[in-house]
Amino acid sequence: MQKSFNFTLRPVLVSVLTAAMVWFGAVPAVEASDFITRAVTAYQQGNYDLAIAEFSESIQLGVREAYYGRAKAFYQKGDYNRAIADLDNVIQLQNDSSAAALELRGLAYFKKADYKSAAADFGRVIDLRPGDPQLFLERGDAWFYFGKAGLAFADYNRSIQLNTTNATVYAHRGELYAAYKHDYRKGIVDCLTGISLDPGSWLAYNNLAAMLSMSPYAKIRDGQLAVIHATKACELTHWKNPLPLSVLAAADAENHDFADAIKWQQASMDMDLDMGPDGTRLALNAEKKLELYQNHRPFHASTHN
């Protein structure tokens, strides 16, 4: 299960931080505007080191609202501990009423594999925004990785109730059906639903291919179809994501094409696995899969959780 978060600083942040700097008397209004603009521009250009430096200087001048901008930059750099520290300041400053800060802190906890804390933060945001389907998806993911399948199902179901057209939720719930209930038929149906809703959902193709190639039940497996769907997932991720490459390797192995299985499994292993929980799972099984393919044997999931 792979997720991609794309955070941008809203244009209103510039005016908010500028007003804050003027209010605290840190710098004149014109200098404040230029200063915050540099920080936001650096962030939007992906220059997170410069953004952090600019926001840090702003914080030193007394603009505590800049903690949120710096936290976002830390998050993008993968420095989740510092992001959480900054978000603690934001949440304390706003008396636990900052939904955006709580959500981002939950995502940072998730990246650190602290799923219990992530679920707690998402829950607090849900109290503030109970009609947001994305929050139920995010908390569902936290429960999924924490091993609380029942809670994950409840959140995924609620997310779908609030928005029946989000392909990603179906892809995640489909994986949950397979991983915890071993109900591959329902999992496949969910992934097919996701694809019908969004033909560009690489995760739905990926999870479908995984079920068709790695199911412990022979009647579910279909190597040829698995290769087709796994290839589509790789194409949609421009062959740069190790997760669908690993699934393609499993699909090739199920299709008895062990030369390609070895090639794609090795390619997946050679990639950067800084993918949070998904990277950890890939790394755990990587050597085992490669050894199986080298011995002309496919990889099949266990029937035990």
The string of pLDDT tens digits covering residues 76-107 is 999 999 999 999 999 988 765 689 999 999 99
Q: Map out the domains of the chain with their CATH numbers.
A: 7-77 (no CATH), 165-305 (1.25.40.10)
Helix (H, G, I), strand (E, B) or coil at 208: helix
Distance of CA 250 to CAs 16, 177, 201, 228, 266, Å?
Answer: 50, 20, 20, 12, 12
Does pLDDT of 1 surpass 70?
no
- The answer to whether the CB of 170 falls within 8 A of the CB of 134 is no
The string of pLDDT tens digits covering residues 168-224 is 999 999 999 999 999 999 999 999 999 999 999 999 999 999 999 999 999 999 999
The string of pLDDT tens digits covering residues 31-89 is 555 677 788 889 999 999 999 999 898 888 777 778 999 999 999 999 999 999 999 99
Report the alpha-carbon distance of residue 155 to residue 266 in Å, rounded: 36
